[in-house]
Structure formats: C-alpha cells, structure tokens
Structure 1
C-alpha cells in the first residue's frame, strides 16, 4: 500500500502546476556571444566554469601565445591555447564561488589589444562555448544571431504555452490523463538505493533513492541526511547528466523543507525524457543558492 501511494504521489508531482522550490536548473549548453568594443580591453567579462566541465573560448582574431595570463594555472586540469581558441577545464580543486582572471592579447595589436575574463566557479554549470567578437561583424553573423533569437523566442512561447496548458487542466489523475502524462501502463517506479553511489565530499548523503518514469517524464525521489555544517541546506538547482555527454532537461525541483544539521529531508526532481533518452546510468548533482555545498549521486537509473 505504501509503495502504491508513493507512485501516485510522484505521478501527481510530475505534472503538478507549482513547486515549493524551483531554481536555475538548466545547464549552460548553448553558444554565448560577446562583442568587444575598441575600449573594452580592460573590462572584465564574467564566464561560468565548473569542475570537470569544458569551457571553450573562440576568438575572431589570432592570439599572441606569450600574451596569455591565467591566475592559479595549476588548478586547471586542461589549459589548451590554440591559434584562435582557448579551452579550460577546472580540476576538482576549485571551490564554487571562486573567481580566476584570464587575460589574452591579440597578435595584430589592433584595438582592443586584448581581453580579460573573470572565470567564476559554479558547482554544476559552465558556459560551454563563448564566441568573442572583436572586429566588425558580417551580415551573416547578424543573420545567425537573429535566427537564434527567433528560435529562443519560439522556445519561450512553447514553454509558456505548456505552463498555461498545465495550469488550465484539472488536478489529480484526470489532469494527468488530460495532459497525456500517463497511459494505461501508469507510472513505473523502482528503488535504486543499493545501486547508486555517492560522493564522499557531498554536503549530504542519500539513505533512500527511488526513480520513476511516466510518458515523457522521469523523476527522482531522494532522501538525504548527515548535513555538513550548521546552516540549513536547501536545493536551488539540479542537473541530470548521462553518457556520452547527454543531459536531461530538468523541469521542476521540489524540496519538502530545508534540511538542518542532524535532520533529514526529501528532494524530488522531475525531468523531460523519452524512453530512449531515459536509459542510464545518470549522475545527479544538486546545489544550494548561496553556498558551495553540493550533493552528487552517481549510477542513477530509471525503470
């Protein structure tokens, strides 16, 4: 009876309208564009980096190989400077919230002669590709940017329509059926506590983990305890990454209540996934809003 109630609860949560705690859950995976004016060489441009994730800086001008300066170069596992590129991969030594400065100088000496970036460490997200434009951009470049802007507008409109649609349907099982969230097979669930592995450096440790799958959605119900530190912990964001280099789109993050020292709590994560893309294993990473404490759970699978 208890297992049935849990499945029904997760089914309702998969397509419920609101959430008690939703954060910035999308991982930085698109192309970011930066334009440098003639007087911008001294301005710091903030770029998000994360341990183990690659950040590629692409320049439209050749770099002077002896003009690259990077703070604390030893804490990056990869620093690869090419003719017009720079690839950076922070090691596990970096701490979320830390900032490192990297400066480059351009070979031709034209204005601006160089560029400086503030690399800000995020526990789970990074700017994957950053295109740095220094010269007059071509008409084709503007066309590409306009096309990307239209695509982003379309995505936002579709997301808005989805939210309006979800809020406009009935609640309970009727709402799930109306949304196409379940079919005759219902919501499948399984206990994965014995097969997952947890990072010993995590702020909390899982003592029970259950995974669920419905039509087009998956969810994780994670029970955590053993908080490190005295300040209560609340999940702000989540990332679900698989292999090779796949990531599920996290739709909702719900936490029952802040987890205090000596206590325990529950976090539920909902993501968009087809039957094909839900094939694991996956790694789950949770992070708090204003602090370096994270939770990492590996070898997560779905029914």
Structure 2
C-alpha cells in the first residue's frame, strides 16, 4: 500500500539544518521550519531495521501523516508529537520516500516535508523539528493590507494613465480649454463651411486655430440615431490646388454615440507657412467602415 503525497504547494515550509549542539537532545539534528519558506524538502537518512525518531514541538494531525512506499516500512508509529520510522528489509539502498507531517494547530507552516533516503547502515537516530509559527490570522491581515495597497496603486495608475491619454501639442491645449475661439489664433467656421451631403454624420460646430507652426480644427460631430457609434481614424487637409498638409493626429475622447449630443473631434496638422489660410477641404473617416464627413471652405486665422 502506498500513501500518495498531495498538496505539497500548500505547505510553505522551508527546512534548514542547524548545528547538532543546538538541539535539546544530545546527538539529535535540529531542523527549523520557516513560515515564509518555499516548500523545501529536508533529507533524512533511514536504514533497514534501524529506528529513526522525529520529535516535533507541535501536535501532529496523526490521521493525516502521508508516507510514500508505506509497504517498505516495518514500523510507522505516530504519537501526539512524535513519529518513529523503521524501514523493512525490503527497502533498497538509494530509494527515496516522501513524508508529509501536518500540524494540528493550523498555524504556518502547516506541515513539514521530508525526503527519506535509504542507506545501508547510516540511519539518523533522532531529529528535532521546530516551527517558527505564524498564525493564519496574521497572513489574512497581511493579505488585506496588500489588497488595500494594490487598490490604491490601481487608482493611481488609472489617474496617471488618464493624464497621459490627453494628447499633447495644440490639440491638448484645445481639449484642456487653454485656447478658445475668442483668442487671436482662433475663429468659428460653423456658418462658413460647406458639408458634403451625408445622412449619418453632421458637424454642428466647427472652429479653427493656428499657432506658429501648427493648425487645428475642432469639430462637434453628431451621429444619426439608429446607426453604429463612430470614431474618426484618419483625416486629410487639402487646399484647392491639391496641396496637402501633414496631419499629425486625429483625436477624440470617446466614440460618438448615435442620437446623442455629439462629441468633439480634433484634427491637428503642420502648417509652416504663416500666410497659408485657405480655404481647405477637410475629410475624416472611420477605421472599419464607409462613413466619412467632408467639410469645405475651412480657413485658419
């Protein structure tokens, strides 16, 4: 009969050998179990016909002792805090058997794991096993503290990410309210522009802006009810002669929902020539669909 070893990952015991003279029993080897250990296995020499005694400083779960190769032991005597092992003559030198001894009090470490190695004659007579105990409640409190800190870090990450999602350049200035149409570099184009016929998209408010090297168009676009949400993916800005400005970014905070009040879309482009005012044609389109909007007679201050 073989008792199968289960649940080793739940043990969390780190077995470390100390000097023999640190034990309370003369000649015994002392083993200390750390509650923060990584489930290490302590090796113990056993020999056929010779007794090996394990002395624990904590009460054992006598019914939960697990031993591989149980049929190769002539004696397995489990006491309240002791475990005596005697391999039988069938135990072959070099064989190894895993032993799991669980503790009754529920404190960490929950168990001790040993690797029993069969030697022809050199059995360890006595081992003392000491636990550096830590209660489950202390782990639970630590887990609660870690969760609180993780939640705080997630909130901080969301805040920082949100700040970085706001675009830079002239578009960022417009979105943050740093420049309005009443300034010296902006004007409203709503009445002046010419929209291409479309039954799904409409620019209800259009304003344009200029800096020393950049131009930008700020549009409030509405999407007809009963159609999918719309997100601008690209844009072109061309003069009547076919000259095209280099579009640096097309940005909007969220997809534009159908039937709603609309949302702002920003188009920013390079305009190094200060005397270039227009008129221009501005076209915006979505990523995976045919819907687009074209505005003519776009000018800049």
The answer to whether TM tops 0.5 is no
TM-score, with length taken from structure 1: 0.39
Name which structure has the greater RCO, CA cutoff 8 Å, separation 6+: 1
Larger Rg: 2
TM-score, with length taken from structure 2: 0.39
